[in-house]
Chain A
Amino acid sequence: QQPVQSPQAVILREGEDAVINCSSSKALYSVHWYRQKHGEAPVFLMILLKGGEQKGHEKISASFNEKKQQSSLYLTASQLSYSGTYFCGTHTTNDYKLSFGAGTTVTVRA
């Protein structure tokens, strides 16, 4: 089942912060975050695993609340290069497949 992302879109000025949320109705094993720029393939940002392990981008942080089946991606001191569409992908505990949210479009302006 597709996770729910919010907000759908956000507009920032350089240096501002933003939070993107991803929630699931099912128990999650892992949450993956990707950024896709127009005309390009999705690029891996971070994976958060049940139990607290995280792997990913040094300058982007995220959290994973296993009990609430939610994850949040934090864009801090945003840069122009942060613009793009952010997707969360979730693995449930009983499934090996990734289900992707609808995406959050981030626009960072100078």
Chain B
Amino acid sequence: SAVISQKPSRDICQRGTSLTIQCQVDSQVTMMFWYRQQPGQSLTLIATANQGSEATYESGFVIDKFPISRPNLTFSTLTVSNMSPEDSSIYLCSVGAATDTQYFGPGTRLTVL
């Protein structure tokens, strides 16, 4: 099974600032996913991060707000830009395929004041 780490584990940020979340996997993976989980809610896919190409964003999420980098097969970053209190959520990265287990990182708890 893949071991995934995320940094930071939590942060409290001011409105209008940006935060970059890092996701590191202990093995090479083709696809990495970024999810958002708002308080008491389910998991919503933000985007799929592909190595060597632009990330694929889901409806309602745009690159200007959530830029993603994927410089190699074990690492990705998600930036939450120009934050507002509505961005307060848990952000999770995950790896896996449709035919296999999808593993989640421990998550980054973001509070925007």
| Residue pair A44, B103 in contact (C-beta under 8 Å) | yes
| Residue pair B42, A41 in contact (C-beta under 8 Å) | no
Q: Mark A16-49, 1 if CB is under 8 A from B, else 0.
A: 0000000000000110101000001111100101
Q: How many A residues touch the partner, as a band?
A: 20 to 34
If A30-B98, A41-B92, A49-B99 touch, whether A100 touches B105 (CB-CB below 8 Å) is no
If A96-B97, A98-B45, A101-B42 touch, whether A41 touches B106 (CB-CB below 8 Å) is yes
Closest-CB distance, A85 to chain B (whole angstroms): 9
What is the bound-complex CA distance between A5 and B31, given in angstroms? 27
If A41-B92, A41-B106, A41-B107 touch, whether A100 touches B43 (CB-CB below 8 Å) is yes
Closest-CB distance, B49 to chain A (whole angstroms): 12
| Residue pair B98, A87 in contact (C-beta under 8 Å) | no
CB-CB contacts below 8 Å: A34-66 with B: 34, 40-44, 47, 49, 55
| Residue pair B102, A41 in contact (C-beta under 8 Å) | no
| Residue pair A41, B105 in contact (C-beta under 8 Å) | yes
Cβ of A108 under 8 Å from chain B: no
| Residue pair A44, B101 in contact (C-beta under 8 Å) | yes
| Residue pair B98, A29 in contact (C-beta under 8 Å) | yes
Which residues in A have their C-beta under 8 angstroms from that of B33? 97-98
Which residues in A have their C-beta under 8 angstroms from that of B86? none
| Residue pair B43, A42 in contact (C-beta under 8 Å) | yes
What is the bound-complex CA distance between A102 and B97, given in angstroms? 21
User: A residues bordering B, Cβ < 8 Å?
Assistant: 2, 29-30, 32, 34, 40-44, 47, 49, 55, 87, 89, 91, 95-103
User: B residues bordering A, Cβ < 8 Å?
Assistant: 31, 33, 41-45, 48, 58, 92, 97-107
Jot down 21 A-B pairs with beta carbons below 8 A, ordered by A.
Answer: A2-B42, A29-B99, A30-B99, A40-B106, A41-B105, A41-B107, A42-B92, A43-B104, A44-B104, A47-B100, A49-B99, A87-B42, A87-B43, A91-B98, A95-B98, A96-B97, A98-B33, A98-B102, A99-B45, A100-B43, A102-B42
